[in-house]
Amino acid sequence: MNIRDIVARALVEDLGAGDVTTQALFPKTVPAVGTIVAEERDGLVVAGMALAVEVFRQVDPSLACAPNAADGDRIPHGTTALTITGDGRSMLKGERVALNFLQRLSGIATLTAKFCEAVKGLNVKIVDTRKTTPGLRALEKWAVTLGGGHNHRYGLGDGILIKDNHLALAGGDVAHACRLVIERARRAPHGLKIEVEVRTLEQVQAALDGGADIILLDNMDAPTIRKAVELIKRRAVTEASGGVSLATVREIAAAGPDLISVGALTHSAPAADFSMDIVPR
């Protein structure tokens, strides 16, 4: 993950031909102090501080950045997370990009922490999915780990995951198709774990018969997940997925899966609330 390149692209996107408003209002250097403050009422998990600092460094290397919180820190409402001193014009140029990184990534880390807290004491891992912002997957999956979660596949080459559309393309009876695609996957010279998505107990048995390493229990309610886990008897890793929310995740976890994958960690995390104030010095 090269944050320098990511930040550079973001600044090109935002600055473009330049900050015409700041250029029009302030022809000379304006000594100033900027503060970025956490406004989230229940506190948050910081993610993106390194990127925020890199934003200001690239905009103007003469700016002095003093972080008061590091990535992964849990901070309460009202905490000054970052102080910047130098030319106020440069702060204005970097303000939105720095806040965008902090708000997006801290939102993911904070939501992940809430899911992890909801299953505390149970032997299960919260994992993410590939439902990420195009081009920002590495950052968003990093934010998940800062919140206490774990990463699932980074990309399609990291593991074999046979989903409903793969089974549909294989044709015929679902149970037969499940066995067929596992057999085909086994013959491929990859050495990767094979995971199969199933929606019924019949499909669970088919995945077991086919020798799946991981069985993804898709959109099953908690009682059915419990029956599937009992049927599998630890002959495969179990993953529950689909319709998982903060309201349901503990019940799902109590049913006994090894993993719970939550797409919402990255595709629906609300932005964390930060503000930035800039005052003359």
Residues annotated catalytic, as ranges: 96, 131, 163, 197, 218
Nearest to 84 by CA among 265, 254, 277, 221: 277
DSSP state at residue 150: B
Q: Distance between CA 210 and CA 270 in Å, rounded? A: 40
Can you give 109-149 as a three-state secondary structure string? HHHHHHHHHHCCCCCCEEECCCCCCCCCHHHHHHHHHHCCC
- The answer to whether residues 253 and 115 touch, using CB atoms and an 8 Å cutoff, is no
Q: Which of 196, 253, 210, 245 lies closest to 229 in space, CA to CA? A: 253
Phi, psi of 198 (to 5 degrees): -130, 155
* 29 phi and psi angles, rounded to 5 deg: -55, 140
